[in-house]
Amino acid sequence: MSILPLFLSIASATVPISPTFPGCGNPETPELCPPDMNGDWEFINYIPDISLSSVREKELELGSGISANVAWETSTGRWDVLLAVADTGVEWHHPEIVNKLFINTGEVPPPICADGEPSETYDCDDNGLTNIQDWTHDERIDWTAGRDPGDAVLDPSDLIYTRFGSEWDGVDNDDNGYVDDISGWDFFGNDNDPWHEWYESYGTHGTDVMREAAAEGKNLGEDGGGGIGICPNCAILPARIGDSFVTDGQRAGEAIVFSVDSGAVAVNLAVGALSNPSMTVGAASYAWDNGTLLVGAAGDENAYHHNFPAVLDNVVYVHSIRYNSANSRAPAYSYMNTWNCNNYGSRMVLVAPSGACATGSCAVTTGVIGLIHSAARNLGVDLSAGEVYQLMIQTVDDIFLSDDEVEFARAYPSKEGWDAFYGYGRVNVGEAVAALVEGDIPPVVTVDSPAWYAVFDPAVTNEVSIEGRISARTNGYSYVVEAGFGHEPAAWTELANGSHEGDFDGVLATFNTADIPLEQIEEADAREGIVERLERVNKPAVTIRVRVTDDDGNEGEMRKVFYVTPDEDILPGFPYDMKSSGESSPILVDLDDDGILEVLIGNADGDVLALHGDGTAVEGWPVRIDDRSGVHRESEGYASGDVDPGTGDAFTATVAAGDIDGDGEVEIVGATLWGGIYAWNRDGSRVEGFPFWSIGRTPEEFDTEHTYDQGFTGAPTLRDLDGDGAAEIVAAGGDGRLYVVDGTGSDWGPYPIEMCFPGTAERDFEDRMCGIGGDRSIVSPMVADVDADGALEIGFGTNEAVDDGRYSASYLIDAATAEPEPGWPLLESGLINEAALLPLIGQGHPSSMSAADVDGDGDLEIMNPVMLGQTELLSHDGTVHLDIPYHETDWSEGHNVDVPSIVQMINNPSFGDLDGDGLPDVMQGGAGALWVASLAMTQHYDFQHAVIAWSGVTGEILEGWPRQIEDIQFLVAPAVADISGDGKNEAIYGSGGYMVYAWDGTGQVAEGWPKFTGHWILGSPAVGDIDGDGYLDVVISTREGWIHAWSTNGHADQTIEWASLHHDAANTGDHSVPIPTQAGPPAAAESPSKGCSCASAGDGNTASWVWFGMICLVWRRRKLATAALAE
């Protein structure tokens, strides 16, 4: 049955609409609801029959779902309520959404109706709306025209590929800045066809979001096979921003602006972005100010790091909950358990029931927003984004289980009111719509400053201003501003209160930083679980809560968290705000030949910054890349000046430094997400011949087996490959090619070459990828003479998951000829022959190789981590040099972990002498095996992550190792240097959970460490003297866009064994490359507290692997809302 209203017209948008399902909402009359509603536990306000006798008593009155059946008594949506889905694109012909897709009538001529005449209202079937069905009788339309396989179905892609003549084709008829945007836009391919391109590898992720949010609801019932969305009568606007749920912030920001300018009331962002440029921040603000509410996924990693773009101001940050039983057809004790493929933490706003991970909750919440707006427009009310936000949080079902109930359900702990695992509670659209109908529209409050997770040093900042905005529909309102300590305050202190008439915009209160109890955050102990971890790292947290009550008694609330922590070692001028995110790692380079290093880093705005040790800019810097041509700068959001589009490109790759033109001076090289390789001279001027551009791929080269991208994620490597005194640039491209570029910006030698696995003779080459499939590479190539023959080799991996995802491919080639070295390429299998866990950043070989001479024989050994692997230390011919352990039976005495095993994830290895034997040891971070197992569970399941250090001589784990690390780690690598001043090296490492550690060879934390950033760290630390005092400094960047720099006790005249992400400023990944020393402190200035001029160090649980394997296979095949709709 079709439930699209036949009586709605955009022209009469304020006319109330009769309910589609009158009487639905009473469990005594299920026949008045859509068929089989009793099985749709996410929707209903009662408990399914199967659980009536098993569910906890409190939930009998709350129901299992969001009470959509109750809301449908008022509205099932309206066609003029537009829901944007920024994701992987759309399956045009899908029967549940094909009639729901928005058609931009400003870009197509009127349809020809059955009578042969055009309909100037674009409504051939006189049903009050325009959708694809209005072109059913239009003989100009070729039903096979679209690129999708739905040739038997008329869908919007057929309009996109029908040629209507020069008046329409290739013309921006509606002057919105997008040519022929007939039904959405593809920001991944930069064209007007947001088709999802393929069905595997999360290609249908976006379509499934659309279905859960707004499926039409036809063919319902036991035999129909159809599904119904939360807002079945809302229209859908597709915006493609990637080929999976991992994308970049620029594309997400552009989709937000497009959606706002298209009139969407919500934008679904069930994605994780690799970058967060300032334009995305501006786009989020633009959406809020123009009535569009953003819904963002908390993330899928069972972690508390801050997922972008969901963490931005005023985004509805959500994750999913579900039943605690094995499946929806088994009796449940609770429908309020968190599925572990969700993130949590202090940014949580709401939870929503779904059979999928955080993506499903985003879809549900987006549909809820559509229903609320539809009900409001029926009443002639136009709601702001803030009013919808407040309607949702003020009408939630609070999730609060007693200790006994938590234990029985094996749920995560909850508190009355807001908490870190459930936010304000489970969204209840029935209650939200009821409040709206009663006229109970809450006041709106925002906390604009400080920023989320800002960090204040009380020695520098005495008071923090709490700035915000308040508005209400009533004449007046009162407000109170409160502060509490920690991420879940047990008590509140009033900072200010007042009353006001009219809108307020300004300082609401001030917080005195001396009021917070200050204490050093210690390293975790071996018994620490998730709850204890959150409490420990949030000791410096201050939670601000602003509550507003209008004259009618309606309430609104907004919270925000910042941190107050002292840091005696932070350098003046730091932390430094880059104004956009810092996924790349800093390198340290002496730009002005004064013996003091400068900080070089690229950011998500496309800037390369060069900073002195006091945080001031080096003359001639920062530099900026060119503006990307594909940004639609003529569209309203940009042309109005409300959003600065920026460059449209970004650095997630670490920059490199070296002499690329043989003039004896250093140049700085950076590679961008959209495929540009740039080079600058020391003074910031552009090197002639740059940028160099990767070839990229045409749309025809993309399919299920060829999942490319256009730019560079991994860092470029600089090394002189031909001995002419000038370094070449080596970079692995997202287009599946390995590039080598010379100092003039030209291709060098036989490059570029295709990176693809040729297959193995043992399998008659049936496992080959060349000519059959292709994928990105996101690594930084290692360039080293690994076999000591005097010629350099290049080592790299790709995202290829060979043999149906079982193996990762690793390559070592001769740099001069690009021919494989003996014994290479290699296939490495992860645990249970599984090489893919996450798209883009978590499949195949996402980590970079590193090499060192661990046995002193002159040739190099290679650390070659792969996804979910436990790889050995390799010889140059690919054979095993040392078999290194990853299991608890081999943990050394003094470790602080409680994990049965550790697997490699997306972490980079490094080498350095930690045990003082004069030979380099091996270090790498990894994920706890129990974490991998936890992802498919719906029960509280503790786990830990860790960093391991192995002896380079014996392969045994060093004393005191592994060390526990907070949160999942992506891309980072330890730096190795003596920063304690005792003559012995420390391993310096940042976590996704705010902390930066420095451990010695026995696993002991250096005095004054760990350091706290309050942010998600992807960048690796860089070590060197940046302020000229003769002591080493440690520099690190965060995803929130801050550069931290700390002074240490280590002397700068000692050898640094691993200085930055890939060992050195040229990113070689080669431990044998000497890192220049600097001058130490003058003897007269040497302080006993700063150490001495010493010689360098250079002279519990049991896993069931059968269970683990089953879990991994389930996880591999998980799809966002498909599972939810299938049940």
Q: Which tens digits make up the pLDDT trace of 802-823?
A: 877 788 899 999 999 999 999 9
Residues 6+ apart with CB under 8 A from 1122: 204, 208, 356
Q: What is the mean pLDDT of residues 767-791?
A: 90
Residue 550 β-bridge partners: 477
Question: What is the number of residues in the chain?
Answer: 1127
Confidence band, pLDDT 50/70/90 cuts, at residue 28: confident
Phi/psi at 469 (nearest 5 deg)? -130, 145
Confidence band, pLDDT 50/70/90 cuts, at residue 521: very high
Any idea where the domains of the chain sit in the sequence?
14-92+185-202+215-440, 447-564
Place of tokens 């002397």: 1051
Whole-angstrom distance, CA of residue 486 vs CA of residue 106:
52
Residue 555, number of CB atoms within 10 A of its CB = 16
Q: What is the DSSP letter of 995?
A: E
Place of tokens 């999928």: 356
Q: What is the DSSP letter of 397?
A: B
Of residues 297, 307, 303, the one with CA closest to residue 212: 297
Q: What is the mean pLDDT of residues 299-310?
A: 93
Mean pLDDT lowest for which of 51-65, 348-362, 897-911, 1094-1108? 1094-1108
Q: In which element (H, E) is residue 408 found? A: helix 403-409
Whole-angstrom distance, CA of residue 644 vs CA of residue 1098:
51
Classified as helix, coil or strand, 1110 is helix
Three-state SS for 837-869 is: EECCCEECCCCCCEEECCCCCCCCEEECCCCCC
Of residues 306, 431, 428, the one with CA closest to residue 364: 428
- What is the arrangement of strands in the sheet containing 1022-1024, beginning at the earlier edge strand? 576-577, 1042-1051, 1031-1037, 1022-1024
Mean pLDDT lowest for which of 244-248, 407-411, 674-678, 803-807? 803-807
What DSSP assignment string belongs to 670-687? EE-TTSEEEEE-TTSPBP
Whole-angstrom distance, CA of residue 1090 vs CA of residue 1082:
12
Classified as helix, coil or strand, 284 is helix
What's the fold here for domain 447-564? Immunoglobulin-like (2.60.40)
Mean pLDDT lowest for which of 27-41, 614-628, 886-900? 27-41
Q: What is the DSSP letter of 901?
A: B
Share of the chain above pLDDT 90, in %: 79
Q: Which tens digits make up the pLDDT trace of 1002-1049?
A: 999 999 999 999 999 998 999 999 999 999 999 999 999 999 999 999
Whole-angstrom distance, CA of residue 259 vs CA of residue 98:
19
Residue 700, number of CB atoms within 10 A of its CB = 8
Is there a contact between 371 and 278 (Cβ–Cβ < 8 Å)?
no
Whole-angstrom distance, CA of residue 451 vs CA of residue 814:
49
Confidence band, pLDDT 50/70/90 cuts, at residue 224: low
CATH top-level class of 14-92+185-202+215-440? alpha beta
Q: What is the DSSP letter of 626?
A: P
CA 290 remoteness from chain centre:
25
What's the CA angle centered on 877, arms 876 and 883, to 5 degrees?
75
Q: Which tens digits make up the pLDDT trace of 883-915?
A: 999 999 999 999 999 999 999 988 899 999 999
Phi/psi at 882 (nearest 5 deg)? -140, 135
Whole-angstrom distance, CA of residue 586 vs CA of residue 597:
12
CA atoms within 13 A on the CB side of 711: 25
Of residues 54, 43, 50, the one with CA closest to residue 220: 43
Q: For residue 218, give both structure tokens.
A: 């036809």
Q: At what angle do helices 358-378 and 429-437 cross, to 10 degrees?
A: 20
pLDDT at residue 6 greater than cutoff 60: no
Q: What is the dihedral of CA 445, 456, 614, 1080, to 10 degrees?
A: -150
Is there a contact between 914 and 949 (Cβ–Cβ < 8 Å)?
yes
Residues 6+ apart with CB under 8 A from 554: 394, 440, 441, 442, 443, 472, 474
Per CATH, 14-92+185-202+215-440 and 447-564 having the same topology is answered no
Residue 768, number of CB atoms within 10 A of its CB = 17
Q: What is the mean pLDDT of residues 302-327?
A: 94
Peptide bond before 781: cis, by omega within 30 degrees of 0?
A: no
Mean pLDDT lowest for which of 277-281, 323-327, 835-839? 835-839
Q: For residue 225, give both structure tokens.
A: 């096979």
Q: What is the mean pLDDT of residues 213-218?
A: 89
Q: In which element (H, E) is residue 964 found? A: strand 963-965
Of residues 863, 805, 800, the one with CA closest to residue 831: 805
Amino acid (1-letter code) at residue 802 = V
Share of the chain above pLDDT 70, in %: 92
What DSSP assignment string belongs to 487-539? SS-SS-EEEEEEEEES-EEEEEEEEEGGGS---PPPPPPTT--HHHHHHHHTT
Whole-angstrom distance, CA of residue 397 vs CA of residue 67:
10
Here the contacts of 448-453 (C-beta below 8 Å, separation 24 or greater) are 448/313, 450/560, 450/562, 451/313, 451/562, 451/1040, 452/306, 452/311, 452/312, 452/313, 452/347, 452/560, 452/561, 452/562, 452/1040, 453/306, 453/561, 453/562, 453/563, 453/1014, 453/1015, 453/1040
pLDDT at residue 4 greater than cutoff 80: no
What DSSP assignment string belongs to 528-569? --HHHHHHHHTTTEEEEEEEEEETTS-EEEEEEEEEE---TT
First to last CA, the chain: 20
Q: For residue 1112, give both structure tokens.
A: 């991994």
Q: Which tens digits make up the pLDDT trace of 435-489?
A: 999 999 999 999 999 999 999 999 999 999 999 999 999 999 999 999 999 999 9
Of residues 165, 144, 163, the one with CA closest to residue 155: 144
Q: For residue 1101, give both structure tokens.
A: 């649980």
Q: For residue 323, give both structure tokens.
A: 């039943």
If phi over 0 gives left and psi between -120 and 50 gives alpha, with beta otherwise, what is residue 481?
beta
Residue 657, number of CB atoms within 10 A of its CB = 23
Whole-angstrom distance, CA of residue 371 vs CA of residue 392:
11
- The dihedral built from the CA positions of residue 629, 631, 632 and 637, taken in this order, carries a sign that is negative
Amino acid (1-letter code) at residue 940 = H
Classified as helix, coil or strand, 435 is helix
pLDDT at 227: 85
Of residues 734, 858, 711, the one with CA closest to residue 784: 858
Classified as helix, coil or strand, 784 is strand
Q: What is the DSSP letter of 11?
A: G
Mean pLDDT lowest for which of 12-21, 86-95, 924-933? 12-21
Q: Kindly tell me the burial class for residue 592, based on how many C-beta atoms sit within 10 Å of its own C-beta (0-12, 13-18, 19 or more).
A: middle
pLDDT at 677: 98
Confidence band, pLDDT 50/70/90 cuts, at residue 833: low
The chain-wide mean pLDDT, for the chain, equals 91
